Amino acid sequence: MDRNAKRKIIILALLTGLIALFHYLTPTEPHDYHKIHIVLRKLYFLPPVMAAAWFGLRGACFTALAVSLLFILHAFLDWPGNYMEQANQVGELAGFWMAAVIPGWLFDKQRTLLQELANANEETLLGLVSALDLREHNTRLHSQRVREYTELLATRYGVDGAVLREIGFGALLHDVGKIAVPDRILLKPDKLTDEEWQEMRKHPEAGYRIVKRIGFLKEAAEIVHAHHERFDGTGYPRGLKGDAIPLGARLFMVADVYDALTSQRPYKPALAHEDAATEIQKQKGTQLDPEVVTTFLAIEPAELRQIAERYHDANSKDTFSLTH
């Protein structure tokens, strides 16, 4: 359970408790107090509806049960002699469940539809990224691995919820701007000329322009824009320094360096985990954020190995040497 869910549960518990407290303390006589008493009874409808919006049908039913028990206890302690009032209270008790079940079912259905739409969007993005990775020939599944490394690191850094999802998308799409880089440069086996490097270094801005046009990826676009910055301010395209670099980009940079070090390329062998960790340690304060590096190095190598093996292309010659 994430912090946001815990906060919502606390809000529901406090709200229900306050309503019950005032309901129990407010007398039913004289008539003016009785009016307040009726208003407080109507407020019991609020927690089940809020729970339905936040937690769906299951959460709404649990909340309706708690409200019903409090309501029944009060009725037992102060059962009215008026038959009309008795009927009103029974009707209100049934209403609590109607206010929970119908919105809860509707919110669950809406949530399912939104999740299906989100899954379809993600599959589309994965297809695009896979095509880009294959275009470079030597970076198969790189973007998927880096995304999971980044999400794992972000979780250990204390990021969760929507921010974690945005960071994951930013990591996945970091190189989408290379679609604008000509093949003669992107696939060139030899060292790039200064002019070719200038062209290559335009890809973060190109990627940013592509991604920011998609509404739900606006935050991810900032990571795409900043993924080649350096903590000491010597990166590109904007020369951002320190905390001016978005957190998602600072997390991504460590994950990206790790994947580059531990993946085999035609021009270099894969490094073992310990050797890669040593190289990353050397980049603290220059290329990489020291706090993020410290968090990354505290992750168990076995967790990183699981990600590497999950996205290992059986048809490629990449090896992931993550032994202790």
Specify the pTM.
0.69
DSSP H helical ranges for the chain: 3-25, 31-43, 46-77, 83-135, 142-156, 161-172, 183-186, 194-200, 203-211, 218-226, 247-262, 273-282, 290-297, 301-310
- Answer yes or no: are the C-beta atoms of 67 and 96 closer than 8 Å: yes
- pLDDT at position 316 is 46
- Answer yes or no: are the C-beta atoms of 249 and 309 closer than 8 Å: no
Rounded to whole angstroms, the Cα distance separating 222 from 157 reads: 19
Distance of CA 194 to the CA centre of its chain: 39
User: Which domains are assigned to the chain?
Assistant: 3-112 (no CATH), 136-310 (1.10.3210.10)
Tens place of pLDDT for every residue, the chain, 324 residues? Answer: 677 888 999 999 999 999 999 888 887 777 677 788 788 888 999 999 999 999 999 999 999 999 999 988 887 777 666 666 677 778 888 999 999 999 999 999 999 988 888 788 878 787 777 777 777 655 557 888 999 999 999 999 999 888 999 999 999 999 999 989 998 998 888 888 999 999 999 999 999 999 999 888 989 999 999 999 999 999 999 999 999 999 999 999 999 999 999 987 766 788 999 999 999 999 999 999 999 999 999 999 999 999 988 887 544 444 444 443
Q: What is the CA radius of gyration of the chain?
A: 28
- pLDDT at position 319 is 44
Rounded to whole angstroms, the Cα distance separating 294 from 284 reads: 9
Distance of CA 115 to the CA centre of its chain: 13
- Answer yes or no: are the C-beta atoms of 295 and 153 closer than 8 Å: yes
